[in-house]
């Protein structure tokens, strides 16, 4: 682990782990059962300064390194997948402003994102525009010194509670549609929440439909320039996929820890599980896959932070490997626990439900394979 992380980052990892074990892990089962956003955990993250990880230092951030964010988010995900989404989505939602915002936009929003006063959200996905980002149909039409936005978004994480949203819409310029990113504040007339998704996992993280009906935003709320939206979206996803790799690695580690606790005390057919060679082999495979995932994710984050050549490929590989891996680890844990693995009284069942979505959001793993192959083929 020390290959990619500094001594300071390793010490910070220990601090976050202690806080999560003390304050978040005891809440994880209840958060899942209630299926409601855990505002107490959000406030805890604010007090501890976790949201500072998503913003550059000049606006109240910590060190501005994705690798440090990944260290923290892995520790959160070990205990509670839904709580890791609070930190992860704060990063994704703020990324357009962090990476592309002008000085005035950054001064206005990022200090409040870093303190936790504002929750941020990323409004890209539509019913016909998931993996195909270019298929977005939401439109923005100029009207004086403003733009009028009409359309809808689906599967928007924390879209119902975010204070600031980045909405991607097309602007027609000389007969050509140009994807553009707009800042839309909560409470803007015409912005409303549609249905909330009832998901199989990550139940404490809300997922909303957004409806934009004649939403007026000033031209100064354009992030970058008209037509930059597609590049902004891809830049944010290249960053976010590494973060998802860290989430998946953390959840897999939490699942393995659950398996180890059970195996050390479990009995099958009168014999201790801990003496079974088959169990030994399964645990060895699980540990190996998790360590491989962690190393790949840290390597991707390091390359991203230092803008080393190939970081986009590593971003896709970390997301692909970690999110396929976590589902395998969660399934093996349920198998090891037997009947108890299917019981809501044990975290294995919750972790398996949480694990499934990671291979789907922020670009399906089929998309990651395309990104990796195109890089290899020089396209």
pLDDT band at 1 (very low <50, low <70, confident <90, very high): very low
Mean pLDDT of the chain: 93
pLDDT band at 131 (very low <50, low <70, confident <90, very high): confident
Q: Is the pLDDT of residue 88 over 90?
A: yes
Q: Is the pLDDT of residue 159 over 80?
A: yes
Nearest 5°: the CA angle 315, 319, 324 is 155
Write out pLDDT tens, residues 188-239.
Answer: 999 999 999 999 999 999 999 999 999 999 999 999 999 999 999 999 999 9
| Region of poorest pLDDT, from 38-52, 101-115, 362-376 | 362-376
**Which residues, at least 6 apart from 8, have a Cβ–Cβ distance to it below 8 Å?**
none
Our measurement of the distance from residue 315's CA atom to the centroid of its chain's CA atoms, rounded to an integer in Å, reads 13
pLDDT band at 21 (very low <50, low <70, confident <90, very high): very high
Whole-angstrom Cα distance, residue 316 to residue 318? 6
Whole-angstrom Cα distance, residue 81 to residue 229? 29
Catalytic residue status for 362: yes
Query: What is the reported pLDDT for 324?
Result: 95
Write out pLDDT tens, residues 252-306.
Answer: 999 999 999 998 887 777 777 888 888 999 999 999 999 999 999 999 999 999 9
Q: Is the pLDDT of residue 3 over 80?
A: no
Whole-angstrom Cα distance, residue 252 to residue 290? 7
Whole-angstrom Cα distance, residue 137 to residue 150? 9
Domains and CATH numbers, the chain: 7-119 (1.10.540.10), 121-225 (2.40.110.10), 231-377 (1.20.140.10)
Q: What residue ranges in 269-373 does DSSP mark as E strands?
A: 271-272
Nearest to 166 by CA among 148, 181, 156, 179: 181
pLDDT band at 6 (very low <50, low <70, confident <90, very high): confident
DSSP element (H, E) containing 60: none
Q: Which of 74, 209, 349, 362 is catalytic?
A: 362
């Amino acid at each position: 682990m020390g290959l990619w992380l500094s001594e300071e980052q390793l010490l910070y990892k220990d601090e976050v782990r202690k806080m999560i074990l003390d304050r978040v892990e005891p809440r994880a089962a209840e958060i899942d059962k209630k299926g409601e956003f855990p505002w107490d955990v959000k406030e805890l993250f604010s007090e501890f300064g976790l949201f500072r990880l998503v913003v550059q230092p000049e606006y109240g951030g910590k060190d501005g390194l994705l690798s440090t964010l990944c260290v923290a988010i892995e520790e959160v995900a070990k205990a509670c997948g839904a709580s890791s989404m609070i930190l992860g989505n704060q990063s994704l939602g703020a990324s357009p402003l962090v990476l592309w915002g002008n000085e005035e936009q950054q001064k206005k929003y990022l200090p409040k994102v870093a303190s936790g006063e504002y929750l941020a959200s990323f409004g890209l996905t539509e019913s016909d525009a998931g993996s195909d980002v270019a298929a977005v149909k939401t439109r923005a039409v100029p009207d004086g010194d403003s733009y009028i936005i009409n359309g809808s978004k689906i599967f928007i994480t924390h879209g119902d509670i975010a204070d600031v949203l980045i909405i991607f819409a097309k602007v027609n310029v000389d007969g050509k549609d140009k994807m553009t990113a707009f800042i839309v504040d909560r409470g803007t007339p015409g912005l409303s929440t549609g249905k909330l998704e009832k998901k199989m996992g990550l139940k404490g993280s809300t997922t909303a439909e957004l409806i934009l009906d004649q939403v007026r935003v000033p031209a100064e709320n354009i992030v970058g320039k008209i037509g930059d939206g597609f590049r902004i979206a891809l830049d944010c996803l290249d960053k976010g996929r590494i973060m998802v790799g860290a989430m998946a690695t953390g959840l897999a580690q939490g699942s393995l820890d659950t398996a180890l606790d059970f195996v050390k005390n479990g009995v099958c057919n009168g014999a201790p599980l801990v003496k079974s060679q088959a169990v030994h082999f399964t645990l060895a495979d699980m540990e190996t896959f998790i360590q491989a995932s962690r190393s790949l994710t840290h390597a991707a984050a390091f390359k991203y932070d230092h803008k080393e050549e190939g970081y986009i490929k590593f971003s896709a590989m970390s997301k692909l490997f970690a999110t396929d891996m976590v589902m395998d680890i969660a399934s093996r844990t349920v198998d090891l626990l037997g009947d108890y693995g299917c019981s809501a009284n044990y975290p294995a069942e919750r972790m398996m439900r949480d694990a499934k979505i990671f291979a789907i959001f922020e670009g399906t793993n089929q998309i990651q394979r395309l990104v990796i192959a195109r890089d290899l083929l020089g396209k």
